[in-house]
Amino acid sequence: MFCRKHAAEKEANLKKQTAEKEANLKKQTAEKEMNLKKHTAEKEVNLKKQTAEKEANLKKQTAEKEANLKKQTAEKEVNLKKQTAEKEVNLKKQTAEKETNLKKQTAEKEVNLKKQTAEKEANLKKHTAEKETNLKTAEKETNLKKQTAEKEANLKKQTAEKAPLLQPPTSLPLGLLNGLPSAGESLASSDCTTDLSDPTTGFVTIRITPDEQGRFGFNVRGGVDQNKPVIVSRVAPNMAADRSYPRLNEGDQVLFINGRDISGHTHDQVVSFIRSSTLQGILELIVKPSAAPTDPRAPCVMGDRRQATDPPRGGFYFFTANQSRKGLKDYVLNHLRTSDYVPADVMYVGDDSFWDGGGEEPEFSYVPLIGQGGDKEGRSPGSPPQPTPYRNILRSLLASNGQAVGQTTGARALAESMLILAEGIEDGSVIRAFETLYRRKPGMRSDQCKAMDNLVKNRYRDICPYDDTRVTLRNPPEAQNDYINANHITIEVPDSVPPANYIGCQAPLPNTMGDFWTMAFENSCPLIMMVTVIAERGRVKSHKYWPNQGDTLSFPNGLSVTCKRETDMGAMTIRDFLMVMDNKEEKSIIQIMFKTWPDHGVPESPKDFLNMVYHMRKIKGMNANPVIVHCSAGIGRTGVLILMDVALSMIDAKIPVYPVEIVETMREQRALLVQTSIQFRFCCEAILRVYTDGELKYRP
């Protein structure tokens, strides 16, 4: 009983305590809520006060900035108006001066034009009088030619009747015939027959029977669409054309096909005429043989010894080897050409302009690449060309099918192209093909070169870059003049990485140094190949456009050039430069200066030349940006170096190398590249030397 009462008291006390605690807790909670509301209200009042102050300050600052901005804008407008007014005054002044000068020049031109017109009228009257005087003489000459033609027709008729008696015997010894059918064979059974040449014209008629596959075995190039005569570019060994008697030679000019005059037909039409002869079973060509054929079966052409002053046949003239160059200027002024016929606008012979009376080429001297006596490099200056051993070496390589040729189709095609090149050097056909190339691509304009502001930027006034391929400057040192005498040259080499990209240009002048370095910077060129010296034979060939080691050159467009290092390697000097634009963007470039290559000639040491080429290729590496190449005018030695580098890229890629076609492609992008036949032959022999000796021998 007691326990129950005690438990009830405890429970009553516990409830009482719990009720008190709850009452206290509610009281405390109510007090805290009151305090929190009071504190929150105070914070809100303070926050609104601070926000109002900040807004007032911000409005005040904004008003001050707007006032200052309006003031500055007003000042700038006043200054701009002032500057604009000054510029307008200066522009009007300059315009007035230009108009005055233009009027003065126009007046002078009008006076000169009137003077020239009067002189032309006087000459025309004189020429008309001479024509009238010669007209009677021409009538007499016409009658004389008619009589001569009748006599020639009768002579040909008599010769045709006697032709069976003039056929060569078929049983002569093989050594004496040297290529005719051997004893017991009939001449008629050969694939080709040939009429006797007409000794009064020098032309040869060749009849060729196609083989079983309908092939004649020769290629031609040229046509009226190319403004070139049709020339035999290649005769395949041991095929129908090669077995003709006389032999159809590379370099022969085709005049008639099956009695058709082809002088007015395109290249495609000429090829079509030849192919259609397959159906007829015989091809008849009338050709003008190339000069001095070396094949013992080639005809001994009599006649055709025209003087240089005679009218041209087919648009080009011939000059004999012993003719003096003294009168060449007069011939060029009358649009005559040497044996490498060129368009009438070509005015350059040698790196010096002969319009100024300078720079005649030295006498011919041949520098063989393989030792045949002479000095330690195999040179024999002044000696005539001797047959090279390349052909026998390459034939052995092809026959052995060994490692030097390789087992792939590409390697064998390359080896065959090397054999064709070696044979072309020996018989002179590849040199003759080079000499038939146009020096300047027809239709390509060079107007920028002749602009008044650009004349002072040309080292030679007759060496002009094509407008279509010229290099343009984006940020030139001289404001608003993007001209520099330089062309982009790109040769597509399949499977070659990187592509063959170059910039061919003239050597800088004192006033074009900034243009030159700007071009190098803007095109990110990795290398400059300088294949000339500063002065040669008392003539300045290039300005010293680079700073000395440790020095810096600065230009108005913000470009600076510093020479970091210079290394003398005997025949070469290598310099490292750092180019910086506006003290921000930096680019490095290397210059190789080759010092033993005389103007108009070939390097003194072929080994040094090849060593220089491989230094160039090693530094260029896989960089696809263009390499700058320059000599003095940027055509002769520049072209040789580009040709050599492209050929080595083709050899590396196992692609056939045809130097004449490479030069033709180069000249489509910069005129006159590879200046002389001596330079071209030197480069061809250097290509053969690398291929037969192995390139590792010349790597640095």
Q: In terms of C-beta density within 10 A (0-12 exposed, 13-18 middle, 19 or more buried), how is residue 559 classed? A: buried
pLDDT at 628: 98
pLDDT at 144: 62
From the list 512, 516, 494, 514, the residue with the least C-alpha distance to 503 is 516
Give the global pTM: 0.50
Q: Which of 192, 505, 631, 684 is catalytic?
A: 631
Ramachandran angles phi, psi of 159, nearest 5°: -65, -40
pLDDT at 542: 95
pLDDT at 399: 55
The beta strands (E) that lie in 514-641 are given as: 527-530, 535-536, 539-540, 552-554, 559-568, 572-581, 585-594, 627-630
Give pLDDT tens digits for 483-493: 999 999 999 88
Peptide bond into 498 cis (omega under 30): yes
Asked if 647 and 662 touch (Cβ cutoff 8 Å), the reply is: yes
Ramachandran angles phi, psi of 6, nearest 5°: -65, -40
Blockwise average pLDDT, block size 10, the chain, 700 residues: 82 90 91 90 91 91 92 91 90 88 86 82 75 65 67 60 39 30 32 40 82 86 89 83 80 90 89 83 86 40 32 32 35 34 31 35 32 36 43 56 49 88 90 90 92 92 93 88 96 74 96 96 97 88 95 94 95 96 94 86 83 92 92 94 94 90 95 92 92 64
Q: Determine, yes or no, domain membership for 295.
A: no
Our answer to whether residue 631 is catalytic in this structure is yes
From the list 230, 204, 224, 196, the residue with the least C-alpha distance to 285 is 204
C-alpha–C-alpha distance, residues 463 and 478, integer Å = 22
Beta-carbon contacts of 292 under 8 Å, excluding residues fewer than 6 positions away, are 428
Answer with the one of 228, 262, 288 that is the final residue of a domain.
288
Answer with the one of 251, 266, 288 that is the final residue of a domain.
288
Q: Determine, yes or no, domain membership for 602.
A: yes
Answer with the one of 288, 318, 333 that is the final residue of a domain.
288
Q: How far is CA 484 from CA 15, 243, 446, 634, 690, in A?
A: 109, 53, 12, 12, 35
Q: Determine, yes or no, domain membership for 146.
A: no
Beta-carbon contacts of 511 under 8 Å, excluding residues fewer than 6 positions away, are 456, 457
In Å, how far from its chain's centre is CA 437?
A: 14
Q: What is the number of structural domains in the chain?
A: 2
pLDDT at 638: 96
CATH code for position 227: 2.30.42.10
Q: Determine, yes or no, domain membership for 650.
A: yes
Pairing of strands 500-505, 627-630: parallel
Q: Determine, yes or no, domain membership for 539.
A: yes
Give pLDDT tens digits for 556-582: 999 999 999 999 999 999 999 999 999
Pairing of strands 627-630, 527-530: parallel
Half-sphere exposure of 635 (CA within 13 A, CB side): 27
Evaluated on CA atoms 476, 481, 485, 487, the torsion sign reads: positive
pLDDT at 118: 82
Enclosing domain of residue 282: 204-288
CATH code for position 448: 3.90.190.10
Q: Determine, yes or no, domain membership for 310.
A: no
Structure tokens at 77: 């407008």
Strand partners, 648: none
Q: Determine, yes or no, domain membership for 61.
A: no
